[in-house]
Amino acid sequence: METEELEKVSRDLKKLTGEIQKVIIGQEYLIERLLITLLCNQHVLIEGVPGLAKTLTVTTMADALNTGFRRIQFTPDLLPADLLGTLIYNPKTGDFSTKKGPLFTNIVLADEINRAPAKVQSALLEAMQERQITLGEETHELEDPFMVLATQNPVEQEGTYPLPEAQVDRFMMKLQITYPARDEELRILREQALIKKNQKVEAVITPEEIRNMRSLVDRIHIDEKIEEYIVDLVLATRQPEEYGLKIGELIQYGASPRATIYLTMASRAHALISGRDYVTPHDVKSVAYDVLRHRVIISYEAEAEEKRSEDIIKLILDTVKVP
């Protein structure tokens, strides 16, 4: 890869990050992971208690991209047609006309996705996977780029419809957002506790530039030993005993081959964001928790011992030999 290409991508990503940080204080982890997902042409699930700027971060990133954006507030009375669209009958002509739903855009914020019933969640996840929507007898391709950023609140479970593991697996990453540090909260107080806010975000990246960046991700070099390391990490979630880990009773299901694919893609994107044209073990470890946490399903024994999937992933990362 040419040095000029790397430098241009680095400049563009810094410009995009700078625009987002005009509004968002802190949350560097969230911003970086959203950029990785965007570069990989995938989708992300964001989990965190209310008030951590999940929705604001996604909205701000959409403003900084010169693309279409729709926010959908998921509620129990939502119907699949409210997302996909529908056919409207014209009694005068006897014809049906297509009314497209809010999914026909570039970036979709699915706010509180676990508040909608299963049939609505399935309609969204099918569109995510196939990148097309069928209305009547016509199939409509979704726009490129197309990215779904879903949020959910882990605290209040009353009146929610938790996403099944098979559907959560469609998301490349599951991010867990935590509270800001003290100095960040002080900045939030000084800059955000105003009735009238003056922050304005400019659109600095076009869809064409996003597609060019994605083509560079595939050209990031990944050594054979790093590829084997990624496969070993995933296999260790399925056959931990073969890697000297006595945690088999803590894992109900290990990560699927989709985890291997996404871990490789995310590692490449992380390397590109870091200004390198090759993947290091650090890139793999940096994204491992986000790619694996919703794919390593813990057992009842693990829950009884108050173990989380993150604890198991940490053991695997600490044990599997790094090339």
Which tokens belong to 75?
């509620």
317 contacts: CB under 8 Å, gap ≥ 6? 233, 285, 288
Q: Is residue 167 part of a domain?
A: yes
Residues 174 and 250 in one domain: no
pLDDT band at 264, cuts 50/70/90?
very high
Q: 322, exposed or middle or buried, with CB in 10 Å at 0-12, 13-18, 19+?
A: middle
Residues 242 and 170 in one domain: no
pLDDT given for residue 197 in this prediction = 64
Quick: pLDDT tens for 286-318: 999 999 999 998 889 988 888 889 999 999 999
Evaluate if residue 193 carries a pLDDT over 70.
yes
126 contacts: CB under 8 Å, gap ≥ 6? none
Which of 240, 247, 291, 209 lies closest to 42, judged by CA? Answer: 291
Q: Is residue 184 part of a domain?
A: no
pLDDT given for residue 170 in this prediction = 87
Which tokens belong to 108?
């979709």
Average pLDDT over residues 56-63: 86
Q: Is residue 203 part of a domain?
A: no
Evaluate if residue 223 carries a pLDDT over 90.
yes
Residues 162 and 238 in one domain: no
Total number of domains in the chain: 2
232 contacts: CB under 8 Å, gap ≥ 6? 243, 320, 321
Residues 142 and 45 in one domain: yes
Tell me the Ramachandran region of residue 111: left when phi exceeds 0, alpha when psi lies from -120 to 50, beta otherwise.
beta
Q: Is residue 237 part of a domain?
A: yes
Evaluate if residue 188 carries a pLDDT over 70.
yes
Q: Which range marks the domain in which residue 135 is found?
A: 3-179
Q: Is residue 205 part of a domain?
A: no
Whole-angstrom CA distances from 38 to 176, 188, 292 are 18, 26, 18
Residues 167 and 305 in one domain: no
Q: Is residue 206 part of a domain?
A: no
Q: Is residue 247 part of a domain?
A: yes
Evaluate if residue 159 carries a pLDDT over 60.
no
Residues 227 and 83 in one domain: no
Residues 82 and 131 in one domain: yes
Residues 118 and 175 in one domain: yes
> Does residue 162 or residue 28 have the better pLDDT?
28
pLDDT band at 282, cuts 50/70/90?
very high
CATH number assigned to the domain comprising residue 97: 3.40.50.300
Domain boundary among 120, 150, 179: 179
Domain boundary among 146, 179, 212: 179
Evaluate if residue 259 carries a pLDDT over 60.
yes
Q: Is residue 188 part of a domain?
A: no
Residues 155 and 46 in one domain: yes
